[in-house]
């Protein structure tokens, strides 16, 4: 049995990945997130057999339950998509530290733990997709720790890809700019974020269709649009200028 496993499957980009994977020849799609009802709804709309695994990926108990399922069932994992993640706007020292720790646990800790648990069940041709972000490329005031977690993901993707090359397993970093999902509302919360911050957004459908194309081409990185590609180029080659542009949104 070859499965695809998607974390953060209950909404946004993860949900869209599940829909897109429905037309691929997986024997089962495993959907993981906290909201069981949302996962059941999404699963019921897919023709591929699904397994719904409600889990809070910041909980050690839930992570080890997930790992135990893999150990017991030993499925072949053709694709792992790590989408679960969130961010919070605000000065880093003003955001409650518990919330920040939770974000770090999810965006980095859970992503590494799940990847670590899945790799033994992958085969040549399998792929790990990690949801990274444009923010991985530039220090962002007011989105500081979130951007730092994504810088970690980017670095981790590059190292992991090199480690897995000889095993024939690819690692695809997906780095969009703003995507129209619940993420933006969760990230903004009660903060008065200037509208121009979100002046350029893309759809989750676009992110996933470009990612699937790049996955099939065994690419290293997927960026869904020209605007974000240009921003990443700017941040990579002219970091000071890119920081200046970001700060300008808040003036």
In the DSSP assignment, the letter for residue 27 is S
By CB under 6 A, the count of residues binding ligand NAP is 31
The answer to whether residues 230 and 41 touch, using CB atoms and an 8 Å cutoff, is no
211 binds ligand NAP (CB under 6 A): no
Q: What is the enclosing helix (H) or strand (E) of 60? A: helix 60-73
Contacts of 124 by beta carbon, 8 Å cutoff, 6+ apart: 167, 168, 169
Reduce the DSSP state of residue 56 to 3 states and report it. coil
> Of 8 and 75, which has the nearer Cβ to ligand NAP?
8
Give the range of 18-26, 30-38, 158-166, 210-218 binding ligand NAP by CB under 6 A: 30-38
Restricting to residues 86-105, name those near ligand NAP by CB under 6 A: 86-87
> Of 2 and 69, which has the nearer Cβ to ligand NAP?
69
Give the range of 17-25, 117-125, 176-184, 222-230 binding ligand NAP by CB under 6 A: 176-184
Q: Mark 48-67 with x for binding to ligand NAP (rule: CB under 6 A) and - for no binding.
A: -------xxxx---------
Q: In 100-203, which ranges are E strands? A: 127-131, 170-174, 178-179, 201-202
Out of 23, 27, 35, 141, which residue is the one contacting ligand NAP (CB under 6 A)?
A: 35
112 binds ligand NAP (CB under 6 A): no
User: Smallest distance, Å, CB 166 to ligand NAP?
Assistant: 28
83 binds ligand NAP (CB under 6 A): yes
Out of 3, 178, 211, 212, which residue is the one contacting ligand NAP (CB under 6 A)?
A: 178
- Report the alpha-carbon distance of residue 67 to residue 132 in Å, rounded: 23
> Of 78 and 87, which has the nearer Cβ to ligand NAP?
87
Contacts of 17 by beta carbon, 8 Å cutoff, 6+ apart: 6, 9, 81, 83, 129, 208, 211
Reduce the DSSP state of residue 84 to 3 states and report it. coil
- Report the alpha-carbon distance of residue 32 to residue 53 in Å, rounded: 5
Out of 106, 140, 232, 235, which residue is the one contacting ligand NAP (CB under 6 A)?
A: 106
User: Smallest distance, Å, CB 118 to ligand NAP?
Assistant: 16
Q: Residue 76 region, left (φ>0) first, then alpha (ψ -120 to 50), else beta?
A: beta
Q: Interface with ligand NAP by CB under 6 A: which residues?
A: 8-14, 33-35, 38, 55-58, 83-87, 106, 131, 133, 176, 178-179, 181-184, 186
């Amino acid at each position: 049995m070859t499965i695809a496993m998607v974390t953060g499957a209950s909404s946004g980009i993860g949900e869209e990945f599940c829909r897109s994977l429905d037309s691929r020849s997986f024997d089962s799609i495993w959907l993981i997130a906290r909201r069981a009802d949302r996962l059941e709804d999404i699963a019921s709309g897919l023709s591929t057999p699904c397994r719904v695994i409600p889990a809070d990926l910041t909980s050690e108990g839930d992570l080890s339950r997930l790992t135990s399922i893999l150990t017991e069932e030993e499925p072949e994992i053709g694709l792992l998509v790590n989408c679960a993640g969130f961010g919070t706007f605000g000065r880093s020292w003003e955001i409650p530290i518990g919330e920040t720790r939770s974000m770090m646990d999810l965006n980095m800790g859970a992503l590494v733990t799940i990847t670590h648990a899945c790799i033994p069940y992958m085969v040549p041709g399998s792929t790990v997709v990690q949801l990274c972000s444009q923010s991985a490329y530039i220090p962002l005031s007011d989105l500081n720790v979130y951007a730092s977690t994504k810088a970690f993901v980017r670095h981790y993707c590059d190292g992991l890809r090199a480690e897995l090359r000889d095993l024939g397993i690819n690692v695809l970093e997906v780095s969009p700019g703003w995507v129209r999902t619940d993420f933006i509302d969760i990230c903004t919360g009660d903060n008065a974020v200037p509208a121009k911050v979100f002046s350029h957004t893309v759809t989750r459908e676009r992110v996933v269709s470009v990612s699937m194309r790049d996955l099939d081409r065994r690419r290293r990185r997927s960026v869904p649009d020209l605007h974000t590609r240009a921003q990443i180029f700017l941040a990579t080659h002219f970091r000071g200028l890119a920081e200046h542009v970001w700060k300008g949104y808040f003036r």
